[in-house]
Structure formats: structure tokens, C-alpha cells
Amino acid sequence: MPRSLPPLNALRAFEAAGRLGSFTKAAKELNVSHSAISRHVRGLEQRLNVHLFRSENIGVALTDQGHSYLAEITPAFDQIAQATEMLSVPPEGAVTLTTESTIAQKWLVPRLANLKKLHPDIDLRLSVATQVMDIEAHDFDVGLRYLRSDPPAGYDLLFPSIVRAYAAPGFAPINNGALDLMSLAKGPLVEEATFRIWPEWFKMAGLEDVPDLDLPHPLSALLAIQSAVAGLGAVLMDECLCEPEVQSGALVELSDVEIPFGGYYLAVNSRAGRRKAVRAVRQWLLDERANSEGRET
């Protein structure tokens, strides 16, 4: 018996509009006009004799029947997409990744050439934001975030955040061949907005009586790093964010004292994770961190 299926274009229009919550976004994703999406959806509603969307002041929203229908057909589209990708050997297509500006500039972007060399047909599109984005709600494929607290369900630890003290070469006071902690504590220090733990660091370094520290207004990570490079003070910073400056010699470590302080987590959109290109980007991120650890040992 032949299957009773609505037109595929109508199903694609409804699925995209329902998943994205917008006819406009659906039109952009499918590269068609807003009126084409509306026409396909209305035709589908007439064929099924149900209302899939209801009009609202700010657009449209799914009806209860629309929610039920979307929940059934989205996995079917995902399965078709996954089966189609399995037929092609190299991963390809666009992958959207949301992250913060500091980790993007200091750790991710310097490694993108490695991704392009490994997977030339993957188009990685970065979206930089200051706040932690809900990748499911905003339809990102991958998220890379710094978190101090326990991560949401589905986040995997990419690497821990290890905070160390850094300064420009020749900045730190040395006494009898060792770092003079008291002089450092009395000298200019740079404070970054996240890693505001100078008193704790001095105690761990062995300074029993930590004086009142003259700490300036906390800076963003990028400004704090540049301030230290310019010789304006020592800075406590995540080691991976200082990696380019340490490798170039612009900054040096002042001590082997380190403080674990949260971590960088990787999250993959549950639907996008079925795509070969998304899985390839996730594995590349994990491999890059493993390669970094191998170079450090």
C-alpha cells in the first residue's frame, strides 16, 4: 500500500518554521521567501485539516497539534539527514559554534588552520557572546564555554582552568635568585574580573602575612593580559589564555603555584550531534586539547 505523505516541501517548511519558531528564520534556512513558507504551511494545514500555528502579536506559535506533529517529524528529518551524510565520506557543511571572545581569540582561532587542513569542506562559523548561550534554543551546533560551577546536563569537560601568575620578562622582583613575594605583593598587580584570587595565590606561594593589596579595578581577560605584557603589573590568568604570550616570550610564569578554577566545557546540540560535520568538529576540539597536553609534557 503506498504511503500517504504530504508534499516534502510543505513538510520541510513546517518543520523548519516550528523548530526555529519563525517563518522568517525558516525562509532564511531553506533559502526561500517568507511567502513560500507561509504558502506551504497553509497548504499543509488544509491537507491535514488542522491548525498547526496560531497567530500572535510577535509572530506565530505552534498549536498543541503543531507541537505533536513537529515532535514526530523532526526526528524523521534528522534520520534522513544522517543517513544521507553517511553516504559521503568526508564531513562537509556549515557548523555553528558559540563561545566567548577570550577563549576564541586566545585558544580557538590560532588552531582553526588545523581544522581547515583536516576537514577542508567544513565551514566553521563562530558566534562570540559574553553570556552562556542555550545552544538548543538559539540553534547553535556546538558551544564552548568557561564555567565555574557544575555544568548543565550534556556538557563535557574539554579542559580544566588552571590559574597561574604571569608578568613581562624582568618585571618580577628577585631576591637571592628567588621570587620576592612580599615585594611582588607591594608592587603593581593586575586583577582580572574572573580570577580575583591574588590573596589566595600569595598564601599558596608561601607568603604567611599577605599585606593589603593595592588592586585596581578588575579588567577583562584580554585587557588584563595586555596590561601584563605592557609591564603594568603581574596578572593571575588561565594558562591556556596566556599560551600565545608565553610561547612568544611576551610573558613568563612567576611560580609553579597553580589554582584550579572552573573549566572549559563543550556542549553539542542534541539534534546537530547526528551530523557528521558536527561530530568531526567535536572530535577535532578534543584532539586539539589532547595535542596541547602532549606538547606540555
pLDDT tens column, 66-105: 999 999 999 898 888 877 777 766 788 899 999 988 899 9
Mean confidence (pLDDT) of the chain = 89
pLDDT of residue 227: 96
How many Cβ atoms sit within 10 Å of the Cβ of residue 168?
A: 20
Question: Positive or negative, the Cα torsion across 94, 99, 101, 106?
Answer: negative
pLDDT of residue 297: 46
Q: Assess whether pLDDT exceeds 50 at residue 184.
A: yes
Mean pLDDT over 145-162 rounds to 85
pLDDT of residue 292: 67
How far is Cα 30 from Cα 68, in angstroms, rounded to an integer?
A: 22
Which one of 3.10.50.40, 1.10.3720.10, 1.10.10.10, 3.40.50.150 gives the CATH number of domain 8-87?
A: 1.10.10.10
User: SS3 for 7?
Assistant: coil
How far is Cα 3 from Cα 36, in angstroms, rounded to an integer?
A: 25
Which of these, 169, 180, 157, 296, lies nearest to 239 by C-alpha position? 296
Q: Which cell numbers hold the place of 214?
A: 593595592
Q: Which residues contact 72 (CB under 8 A, 6 or more apart)?
A: none
Give burial (CB, 10 Å; 0-12/13-18/19+) of 293: exposed
Q: Which cell numbers hold the place of 293?
A: 597536553
Q: Considering the entire predicted model, what is its pTM?
A: 0.66
**Most confident of the following: 141-145, 153-157, 269-273:** 141-145
Give the residue extent of every domain in the chain: 8-87, 93-160+263-296, 162-260
Q: Assess whether pLDDT exceeds 60 at residue 7.
A: yes
Mean pLDDT over 193-204 rounds to 93
Beta strand extents in 33-155 (DSSP E only)? 53-56, 59-62, 93-99, 122-128, 142-147
Which one of 3.40.720.10, 3.40.190.10, 3.40.50.450, 2.60.40.420 gives the CATH number of domain 93-160+263-296?
A: 3.40.190.10
User: Is residue 235 within 8 Å of 119, Cβ to Cβ?
Assistant: no
pLDDT tens column, 254-275: 999 999 999 999 989 887 887 8
Q: Do 93-160+263-296 and 162-260 have matching folds?
A: yes
Distance from the Cα of residue 29 to its chain's centroid: 22
Which one of 1.10.287.90, 3.30.9.10, 3.40.190.10, 3.30.70.20 gives the CATH number of domain 162-260?
A: 3.40.190.10
How far is Cα 226 from Cα 223, in angstroms, rounded to an integer?
A: 5
